[in-house]
Amino acid sequence: MIALVLGGARSGKSGFAERLAATLPAPVTYVATGTAWDDDMAERIARHRDRRPAAWATEEVGAALVEALDRLSGTVLVDSIGTWVAACDMAPDVEALLAALRRRSDDTVLVGEEVGLGVHPPTELGVRFRDAVGEVNAAVAEVADDVRLVVAGRGLRLDRLDP
């Protein structure tokens, strides 16, 4: 099963994804794609780490997400698509990600930042980030079995549109 959990900043998407992963078969590996580049990010990482079950393994992979998905067995929770896109300098190999997701026989939960509901980014880099994350989210949603949008810690199931 591939699940995609989308949400805006501070929406509760990571906590929602963690609760979902906790219902899936062990072992669970938390795959972190971001790094602590400042004190705020270090605090966020520590908060996430503190609330995860002690039995979960953690892999810090940065841009090497595809390789991690191919290497790891058991349930994998990827947090997040946005930090992976940034680690790939806004040019992620989406097709390689989709292929790795399809190859996995174990459950995979991915957290993605919903970037299409906000204001237009004021910088070129912000536009590139929004566009790249939006494209990855849409591509992953196409192969996902379950897609949720989290708002205020509550998840809404997103159905496929049938033309």
In a domain, 33, yes or no: yes
In a domain, 23, yes or no: yes
Neighbour tally for 150: CB within 10 Å: 21
For 62, the domain range is 2-157
Single pTM value for the model: 0.94
In a domain, 108, yes or no: yes
Query: pLDDT (tens digit, 9 = 90+) per residue, 41-71?
Result: 778 778 878 888 999 999 999 999 999 999 9
In a domain, 86, yes or no: yes
DSSP code per residue over 89-148: TT---HHHHHHHHHH--S-EEEEEE--SSSPPPSSHHHHHHHHHHHHHHHHHHHH-SEEE
In a domain, 78, yes or no: yes
Q: Considering its fold, how many domains does the chain have in total? A: 1
Query: How much is the pLDDT for 116?
Result: 85
Residue with tokens 């590996």: 29
What does the alpha-carbon distance between residue 100 and residue 111 come to, in Å, rounded to a whole number? 16
In a domain, 50, yes or no: yes
Average pLDDT, the chain: 94
Give the active site residues: 48
Measure the N-to-C terminal CA separation of the chain; round to a whole number of Å.
Answer: 24
What does the alpha-carbon distance between residue 35 and residue 115 come to, in Å, rounded to a whole number? 20
Sequence letter at residue 155: G
In a domain, 162, yes or no: no
In the predicted structure, residue 29 carries a pLDDT above the cut 80: yes
Q: How confident is the model at residue 99 (pLDDT cuts 50, 70, 90)?
A: very high
Query: How much is the pLDDT for 163?
Result: 63
What does the alpha-carbon distance between residue 57 and residue 160 come to, in Å, rounded to a whole number? 33
Query: pLDDT (tens digit, 9 = 90+) per residue, 72-83?
Result: 999 999 999 999
In a domain, 163, yes or no: no
Q: What is the CATH number of the domain that holds 89?
A: 3.40.50.300
In the predicted structure, residue 160 carries a pLDDT above the cut 90: no
Give 140's contacts (C-beta < 8 A, 6+ positions apart). Answer: 2, 4, 81, 97, 98, 101, 110, 112
